[in-house]
Amino acid sequence: MKLFLLFSLVFLAYAEVPDCSNGIIKVDHTKTRVVFPSDGNLQIFPDNYVCQLQIPVPFGCFASLKIDVNSANPGKNAPVQVIDQTNQTENVFHAESEQFYLISKGGSINLSTGDSKTQFRVIINWEQYPPTSPFNYHNIQTTNMFDLYFDTPIVYSQSDAEIVTYIAHTTDSKALQDLRGLIFFNGPDCNSTILGTGRQLLDRKTQFVTSASYNHYLTVLFLGKDGSTNTRFMIGLYETTKDFVELQTVIYPETWTGQLSMDASNGKSLIQTWAQGFQGHSMTHGVLNITGTGNLEVYANQSLPNLANPIVFYDASNTMNQLPQQLYGDGSYYLLTGGKSTITLSNVHTLLEKTSDFGRTGYFASENFGTPDIEHYFQFGLTGVDSPTPTIFHLDFINVPFKKHDHLKIIVFVNGIQVSHRVYNRTNPLPGRSLEVSGDYCRVKYSSDFRAENNNGSLIHYKVTQNSKIGFSGVFSFIFVLLYLFAFH
């Protein structure tokens, strides 16, 4: 009796599973909406069930797919694969009403259950492309950032230069789904050759580039819901990014800490960071940790295509006491050559300021350091070491210009109480090339006079120590003083 009931339950569980004896089911797009399995329930498919759902998409239309996948015994092989219109495959191990998109001429879903005890369901809807507005044409001269706040295709043009696009880093589940519906075309409309999707750009850490004999056009189509995500993409000129085989962008939200992997084994890998909103939102940000191999250069300016004057170099396999490293401003660049590394970035100032042990070294660099500008500003803090031994902050002034109203403030605290406040400027110059202060927190602030002439900014090397005489830092400072003064004058 028990055996009969068990057999009956198994039979009922598989009873609604469609027959796929030939290995292929061609979906009928004329119904405008198709549910598989047809009863709409999330069914358990039999072991070793193999079927390809072929999903045609007529010209001028797109298909929206909502997929559910759940496996009781997941293995190394994905039970579901979605193959898009460019024949690119995405493996799906688990999905809860996850959104996918297909455009003409369509794609397929490959279902191969093995012994994974997989539940699967897909709902497919076909819709027409939104119309192209005659006002959605933009000429590209510099790199710009765009939100997914548009419900008609946008066409970007440039008369005599290749256009490039790439995606801002995200791990948000909704954003990752929306990026599947961000489609790029090499031409002036949605009938042009497809370059690929935003999700492909993000996963590959690469860029799409237009190609044409003369006028260049890049058409962008978004099939998701207008304004449903804060994902952003960049449009610019290829001449500024052509030297990088890998390209990633981080747009900092209010607070964020995260890891990004970089692979420069076949060429240069670049991470660029931007403050929230991109314009007018300077902030403290930086790198907490680096692991792996290769050489990493850090730039406190946005000087593409000609990266110049890095504030620090790292051997990714041995950063010693050089981290965390703080930066200030609208953005920065991290350039890796000759290796593979994982870098941890953050804009949480308490993490960046924290000193774990004596011997920590680093730099205070003004925003836009290394590029001529009238605005050079920074404000950084350093904690002392949690130790009975007093902390000494040793500062080496590599380049600190004082013109008109430029000034440098050094403020020291002990047990949360301010114990000293030094202000240096043109009339009260620095006491020398270096300075030592003792306390458990040190704040350093530099401000330039926007009415003065351009300069290359301010750079200060620091070391957190328990010794008042620092031979290494003095030698270090002397070398960099010579290098930077030679470079700037």
**Which pLDDT does position 134 carry in this prediction?**
65
Nearest to 112 by CA among 135, 137, 79: 79
Indicate the DSSP class of residue 201.
H
Q: Is residue 215 part of a domain?
A: yes
Are the C-beta atoms of residues 249 and 302 closer than 8 Å to each other? no
Last residue of a domain, one of 76, 101, 128: 128
Cβ atoms of 157 and 217 closer than 8 Å: yes
E strand segments, 59-175: 61-71, 80-83, 89-92, 95-103, 106-112, 118-128, 137-139, 144-147, 154-158, 163-167
Could you give the CA distance from residue 302 to residue 331 in angstroms, rounded to a whole number? Answer: 7
Q: Which two tokens stand for residue 62?
A: 């797109």
The domain boundary, picked from 333, 348, 363, lies at 348
Note whether 82 and 11 are same-domain residues.
yes
Specify the pairing of strand 33-36 against strand 89-92: unpaired
Question: How far is the C-alpha of 192 from the C-alpha of 261, rounded, in Å?
Answer: 33
pLDDT at 1: 39
Query: Are residue 230 and residue 335 in the same domain, yes or no?
Result: no
Strand partners, 120: 43, 69
Residue 485 lies in a domain: yes
Does residue 44 lie within any of the structural domains?
yes
Same domain, 92 and 162: no
Taking only the tens of pLDDT, the chain with its 489 residues reads 333 333 333 434 444 688 898 999 999 999 889 999 988 888 899 999 999 999 999 998 999 999 999 999 888 899 999 999 999 999 999 999 999 999 999 999 999 999 999 999 999 999 998 876 665 788 888 888 888 777 778 889 987 889 999 999 988 888 899 999 999 999 998 989 999 999 999 999 999 999 988 789 999 999 987 665 678 899 999 999 999 999 999 988 888 999 999 999 999 999 999 876 444 456 899 999 999 999 999 998 777 777 888 999 999 999 989 999 999 988 899 999 999 999 999 999 999 999 999 999 999 999 888 877 777 889 999 999 999 999 999 999 999 988 888 899 999 999 999 999 999 999 999 999 999 999 999 999 998 876 667 777 899 999 999 976 544 433 333 333 334 433 443
13: region left, alpha or beta (phi > 0 left; psi from -120 to 50 alpha) = alpha
Give domain status of residue 75, yes or no: yes
Interacting residues of 330 by C-beta distance below 8 A, sequence separation 6+: 274, 275, 278, 279, 280, 281, 282, 302, 367
232 and 281 together in one domain = no
**CA separation (Å) from 377 to 203, 447, 477?**
36, 5, 21
Shared domain for 146 and 263, answered yes or no, is: no
Same domain? For 18 and 147 the reply is no
Total structural domains in the chain? Answer: 4
Query: What CATH number did the domain enclosing 17 receive?
Result: 2.60.120.290
235 with 280, same domain? Answer: no
Give 88's contacts (C-beta < 8 A, 6+ positions apart).
Answer: 196, 200
Q: What is the CATH number of the domain that holds 316?
A: 2.60.120
Contact 270, 302 (CB under 8 A): no
435 in Cβ contact with 410 (< 8 Å): yes
The domain boundary residue, chosen from 242, 265, 285: 242
Instruction: Classify residue 366: in a domain, yes or no.
Output: yes
What pLDDT score was predicted for residue 451? 63
In this structure, are 399 and 488 located in the same domain? Answer: yes
* Continuous segment of H or E residues that includes residue 11: helix 2-14
68 located within any domain: yes
pTM above 0.85, yes or no: yes
How many other C-beta atoms can be found within 10 angstroms of the C-beta atom of residue 109?
24
Tell me if 250 is assigned to some domain: no
Strand residue runs (E) in 319-375:
325-329, 331-337, 340-346, 361-365
d(CA 440, CA 121): 59
- 91 and 188 share a domain? no
pLDDT at 303: 72
Do both 365 and 436 map to the same domain? Answer: yes
Does 448 lie in the same domain as 418?
yes
Please give the pLDDT value at position 147: 81
Six-digit token string for 106:
């369509």
Residues spanned by the domain of 309: 255-348
Residue 391: both structure tokens together? 């902390």
- Structural domain contains residue 247: no
Counting Cα atoms < 13 Å in the Cβ hemisphere of 42 gives 13
At 168, list the tokens: 């801002």
On whether both 99 and 147 belong to a single domain, the answer is no
